[in-house]
Amino acid sequence: MSKEKIATSSNKNAAVFLDRDGTIIEDRGHLCAPSEVAFFPETFEALQKLQKYYRLFIITNQPGIAKGIISPDDVENVNNHIKAILRERKIDIANIYVCPHKREDGCECIKPNPYFLQKSAKDYNIDLQHSFVVGDHPHDIQLAKNVGARGIYILTGHGRKHVAEVPEDTEVVSGIMEATERIISCHYDATMPRSGRK
């Protein structure tokens, strides 16, 4: 496979949508300051490899905003810090999407609702059926299914706690590096959707 971004048969881009807490950084609860961010050791190498083939996005539920535990500015500062650290490692995150609501608000943007993925498809010319969602919560897997993408469930963060809740055909891996290896080693027919395939 050549080291170029994957272009699908529709001349759109393939992408990887990454959960934040528990997937690329340690889940330490509601982060209110950049100093609380701790990347998993394998995150940098994994994302460097992924971006050779895919556009990278982060999509995160931050219900602490709606609950008054953290502020929108707190989340923005943390996300800007994450982007800055990744940029230092030559990793480009196309966008970070944040849902600031709690689940009972019934918003359209909280995972597994597909709002942000559909927005990325429009704004960045993304082919969702040839894209991936990687995360440590069953909602990440359902999010992938909701747009015909391929979900990969990781056991870091809350992954081990919720692994019994994901469908039996879910791809389960140890962490972000193994997820990356699965993604970039996958040779596929660009005309076929990824949802539900192993």
Question: Which of 19, 74, 127, 136 is flagged as catalytic?
Answer: 19
> Contact 150/194 with Cβ under 8 angstroms?
yes
Three-class secondary structure of residue 48 per DSSP: helix
Please indicate whether residue 169 is annotated as part of the active site: no
Residue keyed to tokens 């019934």: 106
Other Cβ atoms less than 10 A from the Cβ of 198: the count is 7
CA–CA gap between residue 58 and residue 20 (Å, rounded): 6
Specify which residues 25 forms β-bridges with.
21, 39
Our answer to whether residue 21 is catalytic in this structure is yes
* Token duo for residue 14: 């393939």
Q: What is the DSSP string of 136-169?
A: SSHHHHHHHHHHT-EEEEESTTTHHHHGGGS-TT
Residue from 21, 127, 136, 140 carrying the catalytic annotation: 21
d(CA 63, CA 61): 6
Please list the active-site residues: 19, 21
